[in-house]
Amino acid sequence: MIKTDILIIGAGPTGLFAVFEAGLLKLKCHIIDALPQPGGQLSEIYPKKPIYDIPGFPDVLAGDLVDNLMNQIKSFEPGFTLGERAETIETLDDGSFIVTTNKGTRHHAPVIAIAGGLGSFEPRKPPLENIDFYEDRGVAYFIKNPEVYRDQRVVIAGGGDSALDWSIFLADVASEVTLVHRRNEFRGALDSVEKVQELKKLGKINLVTPAEITALHGTDKLEALSINRNGETAFLEADHFIPLFGLAPKLGPIADWGLEIEKNAIKVNNALDYQTNIPGIFAIGDVNTYPGKLKLILCGFHEATLMCQSAYQIVNPGKKYVMKYTTVSGVDGFDGSRKEAPKAVIKAIE
Ligand SMILES: Cc1cc2nc3c(=O)[nH]c(=O)nc-3n(C[C@H](O)[C@H](O)[C@H](O)COP(=O)(O)OP(=O)(O)OC[C@H]3O[C@@H](n4cnc5c(N)ncnc54)[C@H](O)[C@@H]3O)c2cc1C
């Protein structure tokens, strides 16, 4: 059982910044995210796009903003459960919560901050019979550890950046890479398309277009696939099948936690602290709704900051917290590090 002060669901910019604000109040955080990496929409949808409305940054690449946020919270040593979706919640007699993921990891905390954005990003699965059976037995929708594919026969399906980039990367790792796409044209960065073209010519990637995978075969694990190309079906032996058809956001299991939901978002009290109708559960960032709500990164940062003040009261009942500027208090990391402005020196001037 993972224990923490604030359990944050969602490692987007809102969830990450909440770790920093909580750290200033000496509250420990643990974050769950369905994706294998932190950053939410910024990492998953637009890492290379510049953002122009982050205060103090005339422009910053979304991926760089995530790196900066990760850097900023490092000394507060947050825990991460990545690649797992928060599935169920249980309220204990003392008002604290146990959240369990789809992989069975249990987390216990007195405060839950849902920073789930548009919802958990779920992979778009191809409609193939028995695909669920082959998951973790050769079929995967994310590549967490490329070494798994070393010297293996891999089939990737998809026509976007992920399919192109991973085909290029695995061409040097796997024994065989086959890229299958239902069109001849790919929708990705030009240099990636050109690189795949070049690797195809070198015989390092087998390109099969326009084609679709129509069936999966294997007794205990994936052993082969059927590929339909121009109405003709071929049989291809393979150890791994990685369909990369993008991700679809879903509020998902959180919708069944007894929270007040309006238009696929969680209703919160914006007059105070972004608490939901369940005491101890807050919703911050894109996932919440209230009159005048704007789905912007800076709004998520603000909501995370106010949420932490109330979380402090729940974790430390009866204790008063006096807000201090970081320029005055400095930042004391949980790792023993300390950041502070240089102290004034008392020295006579002759
Ligand atoms: C193309 C594009 C451009 C944008 N440009 C700007 C811009 O210029 N300026 C701006 O301010 N905003 C912009 N936005 C909006 C901005 O990205 C969002 O406001 C921001 O990402 C919200 O952050 P968040 O942390 O609340 O949620 P998200 O970034 O959506 O992160 C939520 C995370 O929660 C996870 N999650 C959800 N449910 C679960 C669950 N049950 N279990 C585990 N994990 C879960 C998801 O996997 C996800 O990683 C843009 C958005 C897009 C798509």
Confidence of residue 247 (pLDDT cuts 50, 70, 90): confident
Q: Report the separation in Å between the CA atom of 156 and the middle of ligand 1, taken as the mean of its atom positions.
A: 27
Distance CA 38, CA 148 (A): 21
Question: Residue of the nearest CA to atom 33 in ligand 1?
Answer: 10
More confident residue, 3 or 141: 3
Burial class (CB in 10 A: 0-12, 13-18, 19+), 127: exposed
The CB of 38 under 6 Å from ligand 1? The reply is no
More confident residue, 12 or 246: 12
- Over residues 56-69, the pLDDT tens digits come to 999 999 999 999 99
Q: Which of 128, 130, 188 is nearest to 158 (CA)?
A: 188
The CB of 41 under 6 Å from ligand 1? The reply is yes
User: 307 - beta bridge partners?
Assistant: none
Q: Report the separation in Å between the CA atom of 121 and the middle of ligand 1, taken as the mean of its atom positions.
A: 10
- Count the Cβ atoms, other than its own, within 10 Å of residue 14: 30
Distance CA 313, CA 293 (A): 25
The CB of 59 under 6 Å from ligand 1? The reply is no
Confidence of residue 121 (pLDDT cuts 50, 70, 90): confident
pTM more than 0.85: no
For a pocket test of ligand 1, which of 80, 297, 302 has the largest count of ligand atoms closer than 8 A to its C-beta? 297
Distance CA 65, CA 59 (A): 10
DSSP result, 97-159: EEEEETT--EEEESEEEE--TT-EEEEPPP--TTHHHHBTTTB-SS-S-GGGGTT-EEEEE-S
Confidence of residue 348 (pLDDT cuts 50, 70, 90): confident
Would you call 53 helix, strand, or coil by DSSP?
A: coil
